[in-house]
Chains A and B, each alone.
Chain A
Amino acid sequence: MAIELKMPALSPTMEEGTLAKWLVKEGDEVRSGDILAEIETDKATMEFEAVDEGTITSLVIPAGTEGVKVGAVIATLDGDGAAASPAPAARVEPAPQPAPATPAPRGEDAAPVLRSDPSVPEGAAMAVLTVREALRDAMAEEMRSDSRVFVMGEEVAEYQGAYKVTQGLLEEFGPQRVIDTPITEYGFAGLGTGAAMGGLRPIVEFMTFNFAMQAIDHIVNSAAKTNYMSGGQMRCPVVFRGPNGAAARVGAQHSQNYAPWYASVPGLVVIAPYDSADAKGLLKAAIRSEDPVVFLENELVYGRSFPVPDIADWVLPIGKARVVRQGADVTIVSYSIGVGMALEAAETLAGEGIDAEVLDLRTLRPLDRAAVLESLARTNRLIVAEEAWPQCSIASEVIAICMEDGFDLLDAPVLRVCDADVPLPYAANLEKLALLNPARIVEAARKVCYR
């Protein structure tokens, strides 16, 4: 009985991986529990164990192959009939493959359409980087140029980052500047904040912002308020960064978007980039900032690739939104992962004759009110797409801006498209129902265009 061994999903968000090394060869007998191969995901190198027993008949995917899709057949096994478990075996035809060919980062090709950032040099060469690499490069570059900058957090050093964002930093900068902490968020957030008060430039990584709930006291009470309470005497230039918002199938306690929480606090700078160029340019700006910065990343975006200007010191201005797609009929305001969905929605709308503009807020505090109003003045219709709960959201804030200062520009009520107002469920179908998606953005855009 032939058994197909398939590329395993080794993390909730893994879509593909590298088959780094085979530890067996054709003709080998394998027993349940034997290690067959080493597979490299975007997060870690994992060992792939045999579940079934038998003889390896063929290694379909050669060692060193990159981009092997989850579910693809990587080897076949001649089960001796004594298969330990027929579980993930043959008959289940081409397993639910994640979308054919390129499950392309949504809206990737639309990304560099138009940059309002004045700092992009004319005709600059572009390097294609994942968001993860862009973030790492930003930290590494700032650490090279400023010895006060260091990184601390859980698994940032020897593990190379729980999401591999700090990969390679330990090797280059050593354990004095790339510091593994105990699992003690409240404590190390306070320690990082104190180090900033003492004149250093800490980058505090949270494994996810969900865990920063334990530390939010220091982010808000110790970091954000210090400059004001001291009459401008004591600064706190710390960066708190890490993945924020929903990942995939990790349940309610690991899936919250805290952008509205932090963006409500005077004294903080809050940044939530979408693509690689913004991730790099804004993280560098955050590290250089004299103010405490909350830098919200998104796990699902870490592995997406985008072009980044290949220039010596790519730094972007904090507090400036960016028109990522120009349009005349309706503005879709978004940030972080929502931008990709907004771009996808805009493509669909274009097919229906609705020309949508997409505005990426990028910085959530200070919020670029002018950019929102300028775009509204062009389109006279606006919706906000946000992967977060609706009540007291960034969307609420953008709507308030339109009411306060853009009322006369409006041809339709401003609508928001957010997640369902529930703790995020685990079940795949419910999770899908709860989260923001391009179809709902399209629907809202049609509505404000009265179509």
Chain B
Amino acid sequence: MAKPARPRKKAPTAETGESEAGGSGFALRSLQDNLASNRRYEASDEELLHFYEQMLLIRRFEEKAGQLYGLGLIGGFCHLYIGQEAVAVGLQSALRAGLDSVITGYRDHGHMLAYGIDPRVIMAELTGRQAGISKGKGGSMHMFSTEHAFYGGHGIVGAQVPLGAGLAFAHKYRGDGGVCLSYFGDGASNQGQVYETFNMASLWQLPIIFVIENNQYAMGTAVKRSSAETHFHRRGTAFRIPGLDVNGMDVLEVRRAAEIALEHVRGGNGPVLMELNTYRYRGHSMSDPAKYRSREEVQEVREKRDPIEAARHDLLERGIDEARLKEIDKAIRARVAEAADFAETSPEPDPAELYTDVLVSAY
């Protein structure tokens, strides 16, 4: 692990782009070329239906969370994932359950739902109840499920990047073949610790995929106002990390890109950096008045690039009965309503919980 980086394996012949990285078999753009040759995952009808269902669950769940926030049932910060659903669903569908690990920042509801974690315990965490996944002590930004190898839920912008490298380090140390997916945003991409991590991850060939969810705004600052290099997938170049530029509004392209990245990382070739171009429909958090962009801009993405509408369109084109989609929609609404009910009616944590879980052991 501490050995100096070995020369990369010679890339397969189909891979190109050596000149950009200065030779020695390092094919910086090979993954991108691979994606360009075939951009979309060939999903079966059932798979695509499942993706659609998961994305819709996230959308409806987040809409409901927004409502509960408005009613004062959810407090503090609450960052919604609406618009970005295809990213978590497409990526996590390619993981090996129970082996690969996931870590993200504070916009974490979608990643948990994409993992199949019960919406009721997530919503109950948002309302700060004992039945919440963190017993109500974490809140929207701090949810974890070690059972699903989901490691949170981190509130300091960029912290999940070295933490994710630590998870990847653990995979490599144990030799379990697992890969860590570390999600962060275009805003976190300007944090120094991200580059410290790129260096170590590449130096030690850690099995990690850095996933930049570029939703175009770091809070209210557009990427072009904050970033000298707005093509985030190129930011691994200095560390010899190959990049992938992915349409994050198409769940099938996301899935396909995930498979390319995972194959590279599982092959022992070190990290991959993916940029998922996506869009956040809502404000940064519930308290964001969104004065930094126009309604028209948001409306245009909703109408032309919405990932759920696109999947729906694909499904109808394949001849899936519209009635079946309506059934799914109805079932999801019922599930979300039930989760909201559960979250509203569950009791708050017992006052005795105040002093539990500070330390694991008694000294």
Contact = CB atoms under 8 A, between A and B. Distances in A.
Interface of A: 150, 157, 175-176, 178-182, 184, 186-200, 202, 217-218, 221-222, 226-235, 237, 266-267, 269, 289-291, 317-320, 363, 366
Interface of B: 1-3, 101, 103, 132-138, 142-146, 151-156, 159, 161-171, 173-174, 192-193, 196-197, 199-200, 203, 356-361, 363
Contact of A228 (B159, B164, B196, B358): B358
A197 B363 contact: no
Given A230-B142, A232-B357, A176 B2 contact: yes
Given A230-B138, A269-B363, A191 B165 contact: yes
A196 B169 CA distance: 10
A363 B1 CA distance: 33
B1 A176 contact: yes
A293 B143 CA distance: 23
B166 A186 contact: no
B163 A200 contact: no
Contact of B138 (A191, A193, A231): A231
- The residue among B151, B152, B162, B197 with the most chain A CB atoms within 10 A of its own CB is B162
A193 B145 CA distance: 17
Contact of A198 (B2, B159, B169): B169
Contact of B135 (A195, A218, A232, A320): A232
Given A184-B200, A198-B166, A290 B360 contact: yes
A232 to B, nearest CB: 4
Contacts of A221: 155-156, 159
- The residue among B153, B156, B360 with the most chain A CB atoms within 10 A of its own CB is B360
A187 B2 contact: no
Contacts of A222: 154, 156, 159, 163
A237 B166 CA distance: 13
Given A230-B152, A234-B151, A291 B359 contact: yes
B165 A176 contact: no
Contact of A193 (B163, B200, B203): B163
A198 B101 contact: yes
B163 A190 contact: yes
B109 to A, nearest CB: 16
Contact of A291 (B103, B133, B361): B361
A316 to B, nearest CB: 11
Given A198-B169, A228-B137, 15 more contacts: A178-B2, A190-B165, A190-B197, A193-B162, A194-B168, A195-B166, A198-B167, A202-B166, A217-B156, A222-B156, A227-B359, A231-B138, A231-B357, A234-B144, A269-B359
A187 B199 contact: yes
Nearest to A223: B163
Nearest to B359: A291
Contacts of B168: 194
Contacts of A195: 166-167, 169-170, 173
A229 B142 contact: yes
Contact of B153 (A181, A190, A229): A229
A266 B142 CA distance: 17
A317 B163 contact: no
Contact of A175 (B3, B146, B153): B3
21 contacts: A179-B2, A186-B196, A187-B197, A188-B196, A189-B162, A190-B162, A190-B163, A194-B167, A198-B167, A198-B171, A231-B137, A232-B357, A233-B144, A233-B145, A234-B144, A235-B360, A237-B360, A267-B359, A269-B363, A363-B363, A366-B359
- The residue among B3, B132, B167, B359 with the most chain A CB atoms within 10 A of its own CB is B359
